[in-house]
Chain A
């Protein structure tokens, strides 16, 4: 039986807390009375994933079994999640490999020949050959790459086609290959509740002209929260598109979930509550802490990027999009949901080194904003963990560092847009099309490994709800230049950050430390 997530209140004698802080750590004693929420322990994995996959395909929800949907001469397209999940990359075989090998096995058995595999990257960067091999394994690569296994291209006009418009006039345009297929099999790894379901197709294999209807400042401001689809305006728009899609093409959805065994044994301190640390764990942490501080950031980053998660599959379900996703969410909640009583004035967060958009790369200031205000803030069901007008204190150096290959539009966005306005609406209105349609960003997106020119807008907009809600954000250890440009404060320690937050939340605020990673969600009552 897995240990459930739990809450402790710090006492005078409690040990200092460790925080993730980008490519390093932070270690500080928090005030007495601080509430610390720990994630649940890893859920037991499926005893045999292959058997579970087989069963899911044989007994799908709301749809015929897969083998009955396959016939010779058909056009089959298998679409799979891109490099943005799982985080960190999981130890092979990846869920996608396991599932797709099974699907292919069935397709071969039924004599299906016209099969394409598409990495559903939407407006993310292309996956490298190495990353594809990591996710899919050698066998699939050698049979399909590069002619029939490729990255989705949102900027290929020929390669995308309109399949309809929603009743609100939103254009639904998706990959032509998928639209013209007799069957689309979508293979997900669902790391958080936000992803999967209809969002898969409508962001994974859709171009900017469609995505902008749900990924914009207005919908994201009204998304409470992103991680709680029924209360998300973004998901409302996506579900409208989903109806159009269901009428136009047949999608067989396969979703899988993972447990949160995120870190290998050498980083055991991350998953273990501090009060359980023995001397060895503590020594290990301090050694790592010191080493990452002594190392140049690049070297530290390399170390972190080498982490491979020993995550295991906890569920797999297949069939029609909606019923499948409902079950998936249940499995996610089983692993991730921690019930919490009441909001607090201050929420303290450790910011991990990796988010969905900086796999094998740098988490630049915009992505730090996205991580804290978009991702972590939204890990709630019901009410946010921090009260309206409260303060987030996050530990991250927010260095002025950028990856010009993967994120070429981010630095200009920071220098041009954020320098002018941090208001997502204004940024969108004044600058978005210029970036989204820029020929150089299009070229880099299509031919290099760059996120789309529009991407910094959406990552900033993710924070729209949090920006409305919060009274302030303080970055512990944050770069003064980057934090101030984004409209945030900085401090050297959490204690100092609390001083900085004092004008907003008073001298003795209630404090909650959400002890991440691994990721989990709070159901706040």
Chain B
């Protein structure tokens, strides 16, 4: 009797807050009432301590609904009596625990279940090694000296078998890798450390840092202060490192016959555990793909997105047009409750030599990709997902052309899109171009995602290993009949189609959207009112400002002459602007080359009374003051130059605009940063909103030109003000408010 075997025994569990861990805690509390104690090492998160995390994330899970109902008021007592949460970290030396806690563990623990791991397939190398190898070894080294010499149960994965064909035995890892390379785990780990150090060093390279800095400045534009730029540079550097480390890890894993860094490091962990176990009894339990529960705590309980689920959802959303796998390969799925029960069954052993169990379905109850596809397709044809407009999504039909062909097609598509993108980037920022760009961006996103899935999961869908489960079967059959009832893990009992249609797929599609839930919990952002300036707040434009400033510089008699000469250029500028606002800005601002910044500043100040004031739209002003009175954050977002907008800074909480680059105390005529127009304006706004915690979906934007469309689209309440023809059409089509603000004067000179 398992319940009897665990009487007064003590279990230490890591990874207790994960999917498998939560299921394990629930089962232990429910079915092993006589257990002495369950210790959980829980890492505190950013905003929650270990205790709170356990109570909210673990006990708050739907998994405990059944037990809460069964025990009623006794639930809290049961938890308090059986569970002790230790605040620690598997990656830290001595688990990050104090001496008292360690002594307590040393004295009491009979079974260690090590379930903490990084299950990210494309984790960067350093993180994967840290959590999968070092964490495991650290824990083992502690446990092997404890007084009861506890059983060490290492939860691994069946996929450590790597790319082999045929049966993968339930046997500890040998000296070779899946492709037959001889591997010394200890040396390999040192080698990986060296790779990490090398990448870190490369990331500090000067040329690279300069590139990050340019990128950071472009991105932050006017919003960026020095510290912000520096922080962003570091972020970019880390992202670059991360990318390199993912690449290097994957590279090495494939070299040795594994698919990815996850299975590679999990295998390294197994190898190290075997080598370092000393006198400790060791069980390695290798589940395949763990999916929603078959029976307990209730059918279909699942948490987070498991391995096969992103693909299923991408398919259901119509994003995955073709599958990069061999339809005849096995997709080795096991329900989570089977894994839990197998762990508990194996946890009573104290083997002299390491024991290995596969919890998998491939050998005794195989599910092939073709079947999975059929079941899933049938389900979504019957129960389609709905798009944002409430229309049913059509699921694609897969022909399984093979991974190579799928990837080739995707790559060709990406290459074409890239070429198209390059052409589009050279085209000035016009309306049609931006439309085409958007369409290309969507197509590219789809292709990239498919390629990503293909790279990450494709390998699993081209796996020809069959995980032997003879020992696990024997383990199950060795249970007493009552235990087989209470702790079932006979995989042959699962009917895949029924399980998918009746349990798993409904669970996948009906669970609450995690993202949405998180959003509600966040502190609500501020509401902003974003005003374009030229044409929206002030009836003027870049050109007339320049003309006015220039005239101030000239002696009165010369002014008409200059103006006459300048007017001849107007059609050229007009045409340029029609094609692209950003392009026009860049060209036009060259007129300021050679100007002195102090003089510009003085003239800028004078321009307010001399020019701007006469042209301000009173309606715009009233609207702006209304927003201010409502406590909104008022933002001027304009392609105009900073010294012209400076006098208006008191009207707004923030002014985002263009600045001219300086050299030797004069303007060069180049903009510093990209022109605040078109998409750049929307990007600038998005980055600004993130930084200042502005909730764009509740914010207002006012603008007059088609080039402002991306900025208007970025907010929840866009208002087109005195719009040009194309913006008027776009606004009408989208059902936006259109305002024609009168041009009568705010003030007239006496």
Identify the closest chain A residue to B653 (Cβ): A439
Interface residues of A in 440-461 (CB under 8 A from B): 440, 442-444, 446-449
Say whether, besides A447-B609, A448-B609, A449-B609, A439 and B651 are in contact (CB < 8 Å).
Answer: yes
- How many whole Å from A442's CB to the nearest CB in chain B? 4
Q: Which of A360, A439, A448 sits near B613, CB closer than 8 Å?
A: A448
Interface residues of B in 472-486 (CB under 8 A from A): none
Q: Which of A155, A404, A439 sits near B746, CB closer than 8 Å?
A: A404
Identify the closest chain A residue to B628 (Cβ): A439
Identify the closest chain A residue to B634 (Cβ): A439
B608 within 8 A of A: yes
A382 within 8 A of B: no
- How many whole Å from A438's CB to the nearest CB in chain B? 7
Say whether, besides A147-B598, A408-B747, A442 and B650 are in contact (CB < 8 Å).
Answer: yes
- How many whole Å from B606's CB to the nearest CB in chain A? 9
Does the CB pair A439–B609 fall under 8 Å?
no
CA distance A147 to B605 in the complex (A): 13
- How many whole Å from A153's CB to the nearest CB in chain B? 11
Q: Which of B634, B746, B750 sits near A360, CB closer than 8 Å?
A: B750
- How many whole Å from A162's CB to the nearest CB in chain B? 21
Does the CB pair A403–B750 fall under 8 Å?
yes
Q: Which of B598, B647, B748, B750 sits near A443, CB closer than 8 Å?
A: B647
A146 within 8 A of B: yes
- How many whole Å from B617's CB to the nearest CB in chain A? 13
Say whether, besides A146-B602, A446-B650, A406 and B609 are in contact (CB < 8 Å).
Answer: no
Give the residues in chain B near A438, CB-CB below 8 Å: 625
Judged by DSSP, the binding face of B is: helix
Give the residues in chain A near B748, CB-CB below 8 Å: 404-405
Give the residues in chain A near B201, CB-CB below 8 Å: none
Please encode chain B, from 608 to 632, with 1 for each CB lying within 8 Å of some chain A CB and 0 for all others: 1100010000000100110010000
B80 within 8 A of A: no
CA distance A513 to B598 in the complex (A): 55
B648 within 8 A of A: yes
Identify the closest chain A residue to B605 (Cβ): A447
CA distance A404 to B621 in the complex (A): 15
Q: Considering residues A362, A403, A404, A443, which has the most beta carbons from chain B within 10 angstroms of its beta carbon?
A: A443
A7 within 8 A of B: no
Identify the closest chain B residue to A449 (Cβ): B609
B749 within 8 A of A: yes
A288 within 8 A of B: no
Give the residues in chain A near B609, CB-CB below 8 Å: 405, 447-449
Does the CB pair A447–B647 fall under 8 Å?
yes
Identify the closest chain B residue to A301 (Cβ): B750
Give the residues in chain B near A403, CB-CB below 8 Å: 750
CA distance A146 to B596 in the complex (A): 14
Give the residues in chain A near B621, CB-CB below 8 Å: 440
A361 within 8 A of B: yes
CA distance A146 to B601 in the complex (A): 11
CA distance A485 to B183 in the complex (A): 98
Give the residues in chain A near B750, CB-CB below 8 Å: 360-362, 403, 405-406
Q: Considering residues B621, B628, B650, B651, which has the most beta carbons from chain A within 10 angstroms of its beta carbon?
A: B650
CA distance A438 to B634 in the complex (A): 13
CA distance A294 to B598 in the complex (A): 49
Give the residues in chain A near B605, CB-CB below 8 Å: 447
Interface residues of A in 416-473 (CB under 8 A from B): 438-440, 442-444, 446-449
CA distance A444 to B608 in the complex (A): 9
Give the residues in chain B near A446, CB-CB below 8 Å: 647, 650
Identify the closest chain B residue to A156 (Cβ): B650
Identify the closest chain A residue to B745 (Cβ): A404
Identify the closest chain A residue to B610 (Cβ): A448
Does the CB pair B650–A405 fall under 8 Å?
no
Please encode chain B, from 645 to 669, with 1 for each CB lying within 8 Å of some chain A CB and 0 for all others: 0011011100000000000000000
Q: Considering residues B613, B621, B748, which has the most beta carbons from chain A within 10 angstroms of its beta carbon?
A: B613
Give the residues in chain B near A361, CB-CB below 8 Å: 750
CA distance A5 to B613 in the complex (A): 47
CA distance A363 to B605 in the complex (A): 27
Does the CB pair A440–B625 fall under 8 Å?
yes
- How many whole Å from B197's CB to the nearest CB in chain A? 48
Say whether, besides A405-B749, A440-B621, A448-B613, A155 and B602 are in contact (CB < 8 Å).
Answer: no
Does the CB pair A405–B608 fall under 8 Å?
no
Identify the closest chain B residue to A403 (Cβ): B750
Say whether, besides A361-B750, A405-B747, A406-B750, A448 and B608 are in contact (CB < 8 Å).
Answer: yes
Does the CB pair A155–B608 fall under 8 Å?
no
Q: Which of B608, B624, B625, B747 sits near A447, CB closer than 8 Å?
A: B608
Does the CB pair B650–A443 fall under 8 Å?
yes
Give the residues in chain A near B746, CB-CB below 8 Å: 404, 408
Give the residues in chain B near A147, CB-CB below 8 Å: 598
Does the CB pair A155–B650 fall under 8 Å?
yes
Give the residues in chain A near B608, CB-CB below 8 Å: 443, 447-448
Interface residues of A in 33-64 (CB under 8 A from B): none
- How many whole Å from A91's CB to the nearest CB in chain B? 23
Give the residues in chain B near A444, CB-CB below 8 Å: 613
CA distance A405 to B647 in the complex (A): 15
Give the residues in chain A near B613, CB-CB below 8 Å: 405, 444, 448
Does the CB pair A439–B625 fall under 8 Å?
yes
CA distance A440 to B746 in the complex (A): 11
CA distance A155 to B650 in the complex (A): 9
- How many whole Å from B646's CB to the nearest CB in chain A? 8
Give the residues in chain B near A408, CB-CB below 8 Å: 746-747
A-B complex: 4 closest residue pairs judged by Cβ atoms: A447-B647, A404-B747, A447-B608, A448-B609
The residues of B with any CB-CB pair to A shorter than 8 Å are 598, 602, 605, 608-609, 613, 621, 624-625, 628, 634, 647-648, 650-652, 746-750
Can you list 18 A-B pairs, Cβ within 8 angstroms, ordered by A? A403-B750, A404-B746, A404-B748, A405-B613, A405-B749, A405-B750, A406-B750, A408-B746, A439-B628, A440-B621, A440-B624, A440-B651, A443-B647, A444-B613, A446-B647, A447-B647, A448-B609, A448-B613
The residues of A with any CB-CB pair to B shorter than 8 Å are 146-147, 155, 360-362, 403-406, 408, 438-440, 442-444, 446-449
9 more contacts with CB within 8 A, not counting A439-B650, A448-B608, A448-B747, are A146-B602, A403-B750, A405-B613, A405-B747, A405-B750, A439-B624, A440-B624, A440-B651, A443-B651
